[in-house]
Each structure stands twice: as structure tokens, then as C-alpha cells.
Structure 1
């Protein structure tokens, strides 16, 4: 399987360069990730150069996920969690606004929700790698309060982690007709920002473990 791995930073890429996959550093955020993925896809004149696009790296875990630093999460869905409109106390997603993210290539009907499907092998990968399996959220602004974390958990029940690139990679993959996956090692809890609680080496090790399982490296 030909795999493109998109990571936000050079520090995340550093431990992955020896894997049998192409690793691209996109920069931070869904737009940067989508552009980097699309550039890699479009750099080949004939045919799709990859079978799977992966957004990988470290991320925060939501309080109700049960995940701790050093744990691994694999996506069941990739959700652009802040794409919509705030209407007083209520958040309205694109479907409620009558808008669409992009046309669905298979059905020629618009997709009104920023919920992206994932690779069919995702759940089996989670089992094989000992990872949690569930929805993973993409936001443009990192959550910094307990109240905001709880709000997102109520809106997206079962959400495991928060990152800033997954939906961008998934968007590029879907437009190209390819499957996508998000895989994150947990570095910190989502909520009040306490950098003393971050465990980045453990999160990077978990990320690599998941990618090794994906690539069938023992």
C-alpha cells in the first residue's frame, strides 16, 4: 500500500523519515494540510500516486475519552468541528445553514456536513495497534478551557482527540477519490493549557507505533 503521511511540524516528521511511506511537513492547520496533501497528489502527471492519505502527529485527548499521554487514537470519523456559525448560544453546522463543504463525487449531491469518512481498515488497525477508535476533531483554534472542551464533547459525542490538520487531509483525499485516516499520539488533555502536563516524546512514540502497525512493520 502506498501511503502519504502528512504531519504539521518537522519535529513530528523527524521520527518517521525511515518509514516506507512518503512523509510531508505541511505546517499547522487544515488549510496548510490540505494544500500539502494536494500538492503531493498533483505532482504526479498520471494516476493517483497513493492508496491512502494519513494525517498523523500528536494531539490532545478530550476528558471523557479515557485517554492519557502516550496513548494512541485512530479515527472512525474526521470532523471539522468549528466550521459553521454561532447563533447566540447555539452552534449551527453547514447542514443547518443550507450550505455544503464540497460536491460529493460519487452521488453528485452536496455534502453539507464537515464529517469526513475514513479508510475501511481503520477499525482493524485500531485493534491491531491497541489504539482507541472513535471520532477525531479538527479545529483552527486549540481549546483552552474546561467549558469549551465540555461543549465540544456534548456536540460530538465520543470524540477522542483534538488536532488541527486532520480535516484538511481528509478533504483533499475525498476530492481525489482516495481514503483518509487520522492517527494521533496523545500528548496532553484538552482543556486549560498546562504545558507542564504535556508528554511529547511519549506521544511521538505512540504515533510511530500506530504508523508501524499500519505499514506492517514489526
Structure 2
């Protein structure tokens, strides 16, 4: 299987550089990730596009730093409108991320995701993409109410999934957990452990 791996930063890529696959550094955010994914997909016939890197874990996920999450769906979680205390997603607004068909920014993933998660002993569930990293307990709780099964949040997954969808290529997101979603306590982040978890997921995917 010819796998394209998209990461946001050079630091993430450095931990994966020796893997026998194409690793592309996109820059941060879904737009940068989508553009980098599209460009890479034009260069080769890839079988799978993977958004990989570190992320925060939602309180109800049961995940702790050093754990791995495998996407069951990839959600552009902040795309919509705030209506007072309520969040309206694109489906509620009657809008779509695609020009010619309904699509609310919830992207299906590669059909092998659940099997991969089982082999890794990792949960498989919704991974959220946000343009702004969550920094308060209140915001984390609000997102968890809208997406009660959410595992992790990152900033690139939906961008990779969107570009892959347009190219007719399956997508997947793998997030190693560096911290809980909520107040930003950088001293408590476990980036090394998170990157090791991400690498473990990619090694299993690649059959290493």
C-alpha cells in the first residue's frame, strides 16, 4: 500500500523520516494541510492519505498522554455558526463543504481503520479538527457536548480528508496524545510519548 503521511511540523516529520513512506510537512491548520495533501496526491498514485501527529484528548475519551487514537470519522468541528449558546453545524444551516452535494464536514475514513485500531489496542472514534486549539475547560466541555464520542482534537485532519475525498483517495487520522483538551499546561505535555505513539500507529499500518 502506497501511503501518504501529512504532518504539520518538521519536528513531527523528524520522528518519522526513516519510515518507508512519503512524509510531507504541510504547515499548521486545515487549509495548509489540504493544499499540501492535494499537491502530494498529484505527484503519485497513493492508496491512503494519513493525517498524523500529536493531539489533545477529550475528557470522556479515557485517553492519557502516550496513548494513540485512530479516527472513525474526521470532523471539521468548528465549521458552522454560533447562535447564542447553540452551535449550528453545516447540516443545520443547510450548507455544504462541497459545491454540488450535501456534506457537513464529517469525513468518512479508510475502511481498515477499525481493524488497525484493534491490532494496536487503540480506540477508534471521532477525531475533531479545529482552527483554534481548545484552551479552557468550558470550551472542552462545550465541544464534548456537541461531539460526545470525540477522542482527540488536532488542526489538520479535516483538511487532509477533504483533499483526499476530492482526489478519490481514502483518508485516516492517527493522533498520539500529548495532553488533555482544556487549559494549556505546557509543562505537563508529553510530546515525546505522543510522537512515539503516532510512530507506533504508522508502523503497524505499514506492516513494520
Q: Within 5 Å, which residues of 2 pair with 1:174-189?
A: 174-189=165-180
Contact 1:71 1:186 in 2 (8 A): yes
Bigger shift: residues 91-100 or 120-129: 91-100
Bigger shift: residues 27-36 or 84-93: 84-93
The Cα of 1:4 is off from its aligned counterpart by 0.2
When the two chains are superposed, the root-mean-square deviation of aligned CA atoms in Å is 0.9
In structure 2, the residue matched to 1:69 is 65
Alignment partners' CA distance in 2, 1:175 and 1:102: 9
In the alignment, is residue 89 of structure 1 matched against residue 95 of structure 2? no
- What TM-score, normalized by structure 1, do the two folds share? 0.93
Matching residue within 91, 112, 132 for 1:141: 132
Q: Within 5 Å, which residues of 2 pair with 1:4-43?
A: 4-43=4-43
Alignment partners' CA distance in 2, 1:112 and 1:163: 20
Alignment partners' CA distance in 2, 1:82 and 1:163: 12
In structure 1, the residue matched to 2:206 is 215
Unmatched runs of 5 consecutive residues or more in structure 2? none
Count of residues in correspondence between the two structures: 208
Contact 1:98 1:112 in 2 (8 A): no
Alignment partners' CA distance in 2, 1:131 and 1:20: 23
The Cα of 1:197 is off from its aligned counterpart by 1.1
Aligned with 2:203: secondary structure?
Answer: helix
In the alignment, is residue 166 of structure 1 matched against residue 157 of structure 2? yes
